Chains A and B, each alone.
Chain A
């Protein structure tokens, strides 16, 4: 609750033109914003460009932000839209980048001390299967289980109503199961 109050205060200060408050607000959410853009674009450079552009646009749109609402879903919607715009204007494809991400995951640098909790082989298959999913399904899966977005945040990122998020995730899980089944077979 304390953090929410602090965020609300920062939003209000930022809306009044306090630049430092806006930057502080961005710092609270820059990681999830960058990662969301990365899932959509699959490119670190693209995600950086898109998220930064979204942050600039969000600043210009602050007067339209509805006071009292959580800031993160609103910001993530702008980030996701900007990432999609970016993707439309470039040759980059999310699937390509996802493969790159999978490769990066197994270069020996991305493993944690808990690697033995989940067998490396299973992790590899799981990541590869996620990488083969259509963009929207990959975003649904990663948003829910990796980024741990709330329904409202996931809805903003996916561009659907909150009530539709669970259906989207459920369908994406089904596709992921099929991908994993094909892999096993």
Chain B
């Protein structure tokens, strides 16, 4: 080892690394496996696993629900409840939740708003269109596929309750600034998204990803970005929507 190498080795204990965060715990939480044994394989079914593990009783906490509702009303079409236990619901099929599969060109032609996409990712692999009972149109762009979705972006115009999220005790929510708008960052694995279908029946959304969701509104268009990354990167992805 020469002199420079010795100086570098001596530098090692003082190299200015930040403190290591709890990455293992965070990854475990995202995978829905922390503190309990997984029965197996598919990340895309994490939602079903969580729901099954937490039982059937819905126990709404009125106080928490009211407090949340006070500051969540600014995003039409999104209703959020915090519950002590998450309910079981049958998982809807992918198209049963997001509507019929269409081409990007069809979606762009029919949507009364500009269909935004994350510029660095290019065109989505799948696009779905759904017209809700109030006449609002919902466009969902999926990167990846039903078995391995990497990013799901949903845009809609409606003031009806469209996404109804039940948040478990460990799920974190916080207000964030998104694209010069106010939004909500929902992280942690224990939450379930319900969707009001065309037949007015609530269905559990597939929850293809581990669960971090960014919800915000620009004008009369609501956005919901579900992506398996942390808050900062999700905000950057949102900022890159064109």
Residues of A within 8 A of B (CB): 17-20, 22-24, 26-27, 30-31, 33-35, 38, 44-49, 51-53, 55-56, 59-60, 86, 88-90, 101-102, 104-105, 110-112, 114-115, 117-118, 122-123, 126-127, 141-142, 145-146, 148, 173, 176-177, 180
Q: How far is the CA of A115 from the CA of B237 in the complex (A)?
A: 42
Given contacts A114-B13, A146-B8, contact A46 B20 (CB under 8 A): no
Q: Report chain A residues within 8 Å CB of B17.
A: 34-35, 38, 101
- B12 and A52 contacting across the interface, CB-CB below 8 Å: no
Residues of B within 8 A of A (CB): 4-5, 7-18, 20-28, 30-41, 43, 120, 148, 210, 228-230, 232-233, 236-237, 240
- Would you give the shortest CB distance from A25 to chain B, in whole angstroms? 8
The residue from A17, A27, A60, A104 contacting B38, defined by CB atoms under 8 A apart = A17
Given contacts A38-B17, A89-B240, 12 further A-B contacts (CB under 8 A): A17-B41, A19-B33, A20-B37, A34-B21, A45-B232, A53-B229, A55-B27, A105-B14, A105-B15, A123-B11, A123-B14, A145-B8
Q: Report chain A residues within 8 Å CB of B16.
A: 101-102, 104-105, 110, 127
Q: Report chain B residues within 8 Å CB of A176.
A: 4
Closest 4 A/B residue pairs (Cβ): A19-B33, A105-B16, A26-B24, A55-B27
- Would you give the shortest CB distance from A3 to chain B, in whole angstroms? 17
- A30 and B13 contacting across the interface, CB-CB below 8 Å: no
Q: How far is the CA of A46 from the CA of B70 in the complex (A)?
A: 33
Minimal Cβ-Cβ distance residue in B for A30: B23
Minimal Cβ-Cβ distance residue in A for B28: A23
The residue from A19, A115, A142 contacting B28, defined by CB atoms under 8 A apart = A19
The residue from B10, B13, B27, B38 contacting A18, defined by CB atoms under 8 A apart = B38
- A145 and B5 contacting across the interface, CB-CB below 8 Å: yes
Q: Report chain A residues within 8 Å CB of B240.
A: 89
The residue from B23, B37, B38, B41 contacting A51, defined by CB atoms under 8 A apart = B23
